[in-house]
Chains A and B, each alone.
Chain A
Amino acid sequence: MNQGMRLTGRAALLAASALASVVVLGPIIWALSTSLKSDNHIFAVPPRLIPDEPTLMHFQRLVAEGVQWSFLNSAFYTVVSVAFAVAVGGTAGYALVRYPVPAKRALLVLFMGVMSIPSYALLLPTQVIFVRLGIFDTRLALPILYAAHVIPFAVWMTRAHFATVPRELEQAALVDGYSRFEAVWKVIIPGARPALIAAAAFGFLYAWNDYITATTMVESPDLRTLPVALIFFQGFHGRDWGALMAGVVIATLPPIVLFLVYRRYLIGGFSEGSVKG
């Protein structure tokens, strides 16, 4: 009896999980399917999940429109800002654990407080400042803003991690005749790997997926990011759902692959932070 109830409960749980997975993944798979159908199959009734004659015409269409340049812009902004943020934030996180930094507590409050300021409310004054400084609509605008958003996260994730790595390990490396630089390169950075990966993956998702910063800080077509280019494309070809879904697929593939590869670090980074914080 009890056993039976247990099995029923288990079956219900699996059924609910399967339903949730369909609701979550279904739309994404549908977009992929649409992107591979030719125009006269897209509106077929009843709808078909597997394209009859799969075609890459929508992807070719996007390439003809020059979307690959926006893709490269997005990649450039993302890589530059993440590399900078992880280097600067990781260094600060390390120093906050290992060195007697003046006003340490105030600095920690600063980094924590900045994380809770929604960056959106700062965009308008930032835009006015960037226009006056001549940074508006340049290749510098977005890396600066993305890096500044990611740095506090990198500080917090690496700081929490360095606090758990015994400093004896580094001292042993120095005693063994490693130079300071060698100790950093061979002992400290490998030791902080999970935190650095978590911070970098978070930074990648933030920078790559942003639309609102990119659309307000950059105007020139040749500086556009991929999401901005897609919204412009939609403005001109709003009914070209095949090409639009091809754009959705191109914009979504890199972050989803990154998430699947580094999910352990990302989930670990956020769950550790919430349990300890």
Chain B
Amino acid sequence: MDLHFSPEDEEFRARLHAWLEEHAGRLEDAAGVMKGAGAANIMDAIQMARDWQRTLWEAGYVGLSWPEKYGGQDASLTEQVIVTEELAAVSTPPLINTIGLTILGPTLIRHGTEQQRERFLPKILTAEELWCQGFSEPEAGSDLAALTTRAEIDGDDFVVNGQKVWTSLAPIADWCFLLVRSDPDAPKREGISYLLCDMKTPGLTVTPLRNAAGGIHFSEMFFRDVRIPRANLVGDLHGGWQIARTTLEHERSGLSSVLALEQNLARLRRTASNIALGDGRAIDDQAISRELAQLWIEVEGLRHLGYRTLSDQIAGRPPGATASVGKLFAAQLRQRITHLALKIEGPLAPVTKKSPHVVERGRWNAAYFDALGHSIGGGTSEIQRNTIAERVLGLPRSVQD
């Protein structure tokens, strides 16, 4: 057992580190943009975020594990982990095309046609085309396979009618990958197809939704006789469910959440050091310092679980249901960090952003709301528990259908 990176990997890390220092200015611009540029310059902001991803790609730090012929680096998994770690260490925001990079890209590499790979993969890497995901529907959330958005074949096209919801980035995305009901008579998991849709296609409209935190992160999408060429079918006709399953597993794996949690916790320790409590500071209170210690323990647990998952991947075992373990634990941990933060803020916890006396410009209330979404999006915590119960513990299915 060892947790050391090879000398070649460490050299790679040093080069990346030097590159990031050199581009620190650009990084700050991009970070500022992602953290909330005003609506007035939103288009500029998006362009800057696209440019930042492209710059990073040109330097060889995007698409590490993708094949070289599609613009990737054919690099090792460990190099990919190093990039994730180093980017998180300098607090870079997620890349703007993360959905395309982490979900669609790996799916096309595995299930796409050669033509689809050549057409779409390079532009995912450069952020020339931003992607969104059209899976959930008003009546198909946790029970995703109950989706009813209908696709009928008409000549060389699918004609799509229906509604999608909770779509992140929809107003700015150029393309959408979506699941549709292509055979309404088949059992529900056997009549689903996986399509790629240009967001400019006539009949497709996007309505942004305001979330509980007050921001706009997701939207509704309405499809009215939207024509999608048959060439944009991924995998087999009616074979979309199996593909989506692998897609969801990609969404659930990864060490990146650990790094975000680690930074959250480090920030919370600074908050606790700055807030007065009785005669001292909050961090010196035994109950609070114990809770902070417990959260540190859990972040370390999640990090080392991630190393075990990575070791399995390097050894050629694919991320399966164990990814659910990490996702479930990470969502709970993220929420507990923000709960403790609000507890430490005490009487000032309800004070919001632009108020006098507000703690850290209201960061923790924002983080609190954000954390609540983590046990819902990408498969609720209950769905993760079902997955663990059925696929790891081998318990009988809890839902009959």
Chains A and B belong together in one complex: no
